[in-house]
Amino acid sequence: MIRILLVDDDSKIRDMVTEYSQAESWLFDKAANGIEALRLMEKHSYNLIILDVMMPGLDGWGTLRRVRQDSDIPVIMLTARDEEYDRLLGFELGADDYIGKPFSPRELIARIKALLKRSGAYDTVREVIEARSLFIDTSARQVKLADNTLTLTPREYDLLAFMAARPGQAFTRDQLLNHVWGIDYVGDARTVDSHIKSLREKLGPERELIATVWGTGYRFEGGKNR
């Protein structure tokens, strides 16, 4: 079971969120401020916490700070404004995601799902991606070429798995950076090339599975499309 703590002083928002997420069969606990939230956290453990920034008493930042003292629970912050300063402060304090008010419940739910998935709260569905003689076991994070197991570095694996899951689609280097490295990563786009290079090296005879899309980026040639 997935248990989520929603902390917001506005009861309308609390009700709205729980109502529109009924289809997900998550268990919601609600708190109106940071103090209440911390009390609940002593009693229960949560898969995810949603924290409003502006609250009377202990606000969202203070609560987040306390939460991070002894846990890595995924946290989504609700900020009134979408200001750069808030985002930076939040990342520094260890928030995992953001939503600016007003938001649509649909969006919040989508982000909850994404974050739960990322944190591994859902049992990963065992899925094996096949392409020619390449087999990618996504739950084991293991890649086989014919009968040999390849030893890929984490980045190499993530990059390969991401592209192989979307065969036939061309990605720009920036898209790959966003999806594989993370949305807030800043750095040289050519870094992607380096990892593509070492991937191709390890793929050996199947190196052609990763095609260069000139002027754009790369594409995994998987035969089967989505």
Partner DNA sequence: CAATATTGTGTTGAATTTGTGATAGATGAA
Partner DNA sequence: TTCATCTATCACAAATTCAACACAATATTG
| Residue ranges binding a copy of itself (CB under 8 A) | 16, 20, 72, 91-92, 94-97, 104-107, 110, 114, 118, 120, 122-124, 126, 137, 139-142, 153-155, 168-170, 175, 213-216, 219, 225-226
Q: Which of 115, 122, 143 is closest to 203 using CA atoms?
A: 143
> Between 5 and 76, whose beta carbon lies closer to a copy of itself?
76
**67 strand-pairing partners:** none
Instruction: Determine the interface stretch with DNA among 7-15, 57-65, 108-116, 149-157 (rule: CB under 7 A).
Output: 149-157
Determine if 92 is a binding residue for DNA (CB under 7 A): no
Q: Which is nearer to a copy of itself, 113 or 132 (CB)?
A: 113
DSSP H or E stretch at residue 88: helix 84-93
Tokens of 168: 């036939």
Contact string (CB under 7 A) for DNA, positions 22-41, x = contact: --------------------
Residue 188 as a binder of DNA (CB under 7 A): the answer is yes
Count the neighbouring beta carbons within 10 Å of the beta carbon of residue 226: 8
Query: Which of 43/190 has CB closer to DNA?
Result: 190
Under rule CB under 7 A, residue 191 binds DNA: yes
Given the structure tokens 């987040």, which residue do they identify? 64
- Please choose, from the candidates 187, 141, 146, the residue with its C-alpha nearest in 3D space to the C-alpha of residue 164: 141
| Beta carbon of residue 57, minimum distance to a copy of itself (angstroms, whole number) | 26
Dihedral angle sign, alpha carbons of residues 125, 44, 26, 35: negative
Distance in angstroms (rounded) separating the CA atoms of residues 120 and 2 = 11
**Closer to DNA at the Cβ: 46 or 171?**
171
Contacted entry of a copy of itself, DNA, none for residue 195, CB cut-off 5 to 8 Å set by kind: DNA
45's contact among DNA, a copy of itself, none, with CB below 5 to 8 A by partner kind, is: none
Radius of gyration of the chain measured on its C-alpha atoms: 21
The option from DNA, a copy of itself, none interacting with 20 (CB < 5 to 8 A, set by class) reads: a copy of itself
Taking 3-state DSSP, the helix, strand and coil percentages for the chain, each rounded to the nearest 5, stand at: 45, 20, 35
Instruction: Verify binding: residue 43, DNA, rule CB under 7 A.
Output: no
**197 touches DNA (CB under 7 A):** yes
Q: Please list, residue by residue across 111-140, b when 16 or more beta carbons sit within 10 angstroms of its beta carbon and e when fewer do.
A: bbeebbeeeebeeeeeeebebeebbbebee
Interacting residues toward DNA by CB under 7 A: 151, 153-156, 181, 185, 187-188, 190-191, 193-197, 200-201, 212-217
